[in-house]
Amino acid sequence: MGYTITEKILARASGGAAVRAGDEVRAKPDFVVSYDFPGYTDVIFRQMKDEFGIDKVREPDRFVLFIDHMVPAVTPQEEDLHQNTRDWGAANAVPVHERKGIGHQVAAELGYATPGALVVHFDGHVSQLGTFGTLAIGVRRQLLEAFVKDCILIKVPATTRVDLTGHLRPGVMARDVFHHIVRVLGPASCRFQVLEIGGAALADMSIDARQTITCLAMFTGAITAIINPDQVTLPYARERARLLIEPLYSDVDAAYAARHTIDLTNLEPVVVVPPSPANTRDLSEVLGTEVQVGYLGSCASGRIEDLRAAAQVLRGRSIRPGFQLHVVPTSQEIMRQAAEEGLLTNLITAGAFVTSPSCDYCFGRLGVMTAGQRAVSTGTLNVRGRMGSPDSEIYIVNAAAVAAAAIEGRIADPRRYL
């Protein structure tokens, strides 16, 4: 019986001997990634020093920090947090990247998504580095372990393999694919496992599309998602890779906890209705629902493919008066490309409010809703209060559907505008 890519990465990171799902191993993360956030990085920096007497991390090249939440700062306390992060980074010779975009995206742009590498973060959406054959796990406060020890103790996770087949129809996007996977498999289907995505349909899927799918793995219960490197991802990843290691791949006879095949041929656009990421429905079930706010952005969506789809829908059209459409490209690199392609011009001309990259629209810090308001969103999550008042509502849809709703002021099928 062969091995999964996850087992191979953890074998490599724990010294080389073969490991199987269920083994507990000491693994050395190749990269320790985080963004500054109260209760996480500030506490870790303090505990490192006060609890463990560690002034500096031993191998600063393994660490990277992003400032992407609370950007721009709106209170002195927020700026204090950022300054503390900059100071810690300078003292530790650890790079701090700010105002370059959402860290999970920028980490890929900067080569931390090295194929075959092990990455840890406190935030589970780092799973999107799995797009490049990197095993990237969000461990919440256990991230402290990676700051004070070289190795983390980790149980090798089992893997559920999902093969996607068929071709997506126009107007159906990666966002629909992911939430359809949740609908088919269930929100607890991959608990404590790795969701490995494969299948012939991947050949049609861009890096952007794959990042969307792997970003959201946690909503299947998985601790991360991973895709075996291929000709789509390897050129991008190897050109940027920060480590010289050989990519790893699942064996054809790898041992999986479960295998599923999902045919995408007849998939329609979907919606995730509030208040849970478990609630996938066909978009057609909620057409006509009045919405006042649209958010196109986040670490899950907001990449060039999403911006192109929205710009195509909005080209030559106007958003409904009074509708608030926030467009937030995921990184500066993406925003620059969108400008060069003329997408921003289309979006702005249609009436969109386009801002520089920030996580803040996704978690209710900017562009918040009041009671009774309802949004269509490509943000990560639709739980109560995620984007403002607990009495506002979030309908998760693909980028084209956000744009279509902005035109009509109601949830609309984007395909009529494509």
Q: 25 vs 287, which CB is nearer to other proteins?
A: 25
Is residue 144 part of the contact set for other proteins (CB under 8 A)? yes
Q: 40 vs 88, which CB is nearer to other proteins?
A: 40
* Cβ-based neighbours of 239, under 8 Å, separated by 6 or more: none
In Å, how far are 283, 303, 309, 310, 319 from 407, measured between CA atoms? Answer: 16, 21, 14, 11, 4
Residues in 174-233 that interact with other proteins by CB under 8 A:
187-188, 191-192, 218-219, 221-223
Q: x/- site string to other proteins, residues 384 to 403, per CB under 8 A?
A: xxx--xx-------------
For residue 30, give both structure tokens. 């190749």
Which of residues 29, 111, 133, 138 is near other proteins by CB under 8 A?
138
**With CB under 8 A as the contact rule, which of the stretches 80-88, 103-111, 142-150, 264-272 interacts with other proteins?**
142-150
Please state, in angstroms and rounded to a whole number, the distance separating the CA atoms of residues 410 and 84.
44
Which of residues 2, 18, 46, 51 is near other proteins by CB under 8 A?
51
Closest CA to 97 of 71, 78, 75: 71
Is residue 153 part of the contact set for other proteins (CB under 8 A)? yes
Is residue 381 part of the contact set for other proteins (CB under 8 A)? yes
CB of 230 to other proteins, least distance (A): 27
Three-class SS of residue 43? helix
Is residue 287 part of the contact set for other proteins (CB under 8 A)? no
Is residue 257 part of the contact set for other proteins (CB under 8 A)? no
Is residue 60 part of the contact set for other proteins (CB under 8 A)? no
DSSP string, 378-412: -SS---TTTTB-TT-EEEE--HHHHHHHHHHSB--
Is residue 275 part of the contact set for other proteins (CB under 8 A)? yes
Please state, in angstroms and rounded to a whole number, the distance separating the CA atoms of residues 313 and 144.
45
What single letter denotes the amino acid at residue 279? N
CB of 108 to other proteins, least distance (A): 22
Please state, in angstroms and rounded to a whole number, the distance separating the CA atoms of residues 225 and 223.
7
**Helix, strand, coil: what percent of the chain each, to 5?**
35, 20, 45
Q: Using CB under 8 A as the criterion, which residues of the chain lie in contact with other proteins when the complex forms?
A: 14-15, 24, 26, 28, 39, 47, 51-52, 54, 58, 124, 138-142, 144-145, 148-151, 153-155, 187-188, 191-192, 218-219, 221-223, 275-278, 380-381, 383-386, 389-390
